[in-house]
C-alpha cells in the first residue's frame, strides 16, 4: 500500500514538467504560424519553379541529342522544349493584349541548344513579368482567352503551369531513355 502514494508522486512529478514543456512548444508553434502568401506570390513562385526546371533540363541535355525522339511519331527533345516554352505566350500575349500565336515555334528558327535555352528562359521571364504587372487584383480580372472565351488571368497562368509540368514529365523520360539522370533526380550537394 505504501507503493501507491509513491507511484502517484512519481507520476505527478513527471507529468507536470512534461505538461509545462508541451505548453511551451504549443506557444512556440502558435507564434510561428505565418499567414498564407498572397495569390500573386504563389502563382509567380509556381511559374518560376516550372520555368527553372525546364531551363535546367534544357541546359543539361547534350546538344547532340536535342533532336532525339523516343519514337518517330513524337516530338524531339528540342521540339518539346519549344512547345512548352511557346505555350507560355498563350498566357503572356493574352494578358498583355498581344495576338496569340497558335503554332509552335519551329525548330529551324532555333538552330542551336543556346537558342532554345535562351527562348525557354525568355518565355518564362516574360510570363513572370506579366504576372507581376497584374498584381494581386489583376490576377482576378477576366480577359478574352483562346478560343474566344473569357477566363481569369490566374486560371490561365495555372493552366500553362500545369501544361508545362506535363511536358517536364515527358522530358524527364527523354533524359532516362538517353541514359541520363534528370537534374531534379540527382543527389543534392
Q: Is the pLDDT of residue 123 over 80?
A: yes
**Beta-carbon contacts of residue 156 (< 8 Å; ≥ 6 apart):** 90, 91, 94, 95, 143, 145
Mean pLDDT calculated for residue range 85-96: 95
**pLDDT value of position 24:** 59
Q: How confident is the model at residue 30 (pLDDT cuts 50, 70, 90)?
A: low
What nine digits make up the cell of 55? 531551363
Q: How confident is the model at residue 102 (pLDDT cuts 50, 70, 90)?
A: confident
Residue pLDDT, tens place only, 31-48: 789 999 889 999 999 999
pTM of the model: 0.81
Q: Is the pLDDT of residue 20 over 90?
A: no
CA distances from 165 to 24, 51, 59, 146 (A): 42, 9, 17, 20
Helix axes 39-60, 153-177, angle to 10 degrees: 20
What nine digits make up the cell of 17? 514538467
Share of the chain above pLDDT 90, in %: 71
Amino acid at each position: 500500500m505504501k507503493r501507491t502514494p509513491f507511484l502517484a508522486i512519481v507520476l505527478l512529478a513527471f507529468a507536470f514538467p512534461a505538461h509545462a514543456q508541451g505548453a511551451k512548444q504549443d506557444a512556440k508553434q502558435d507564434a510561428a504560424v505565418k499567414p498564407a502568401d498572397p495569390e500573386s506570390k504563389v502563382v509567380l513562385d509556381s511559374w518560376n519553379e516550372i520555368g527553372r526546371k525546364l531551363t535546367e533540363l534544357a541546359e543539361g541535355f547534350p546538344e547532340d541529342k536535342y533532336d532525339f525522339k523516343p519514337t518517330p511519331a513524337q516530338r524531339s527533345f528540342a521540339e518539346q522544349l519549344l512547345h512548352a516554352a511557346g505555350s507560355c505566350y498563350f498566357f503572356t500575349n493574352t494578358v498583355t493584349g498581344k495576338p496569340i500565336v497558335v503554332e509552335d515555334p519551329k525548330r529551324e528558327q532555333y538552330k542551336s541548344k543556346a537558342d532554345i535555352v535562351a527562348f525557354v528562359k525568355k518565355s518564362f521571364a516574360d510570363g513572370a513579368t506579366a504576372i507581376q504587372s497584374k498584381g494581386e487584383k489583376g490576377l482576378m480580372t477576366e480577359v478574352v482567352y483562346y478560343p474566344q472565351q473569357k477566363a481569369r488571368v490566374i486560371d490561365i497562368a495555372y493552366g500553362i503551369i500545369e501544361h508545362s509540368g506535363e511536358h517536364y514529365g515527358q522530358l524527364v523520360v527523354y533524359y532516362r531513355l538517353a541514359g541520363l539522370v534528370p537534374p531534379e533526380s540527382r543527389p543534392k550537394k
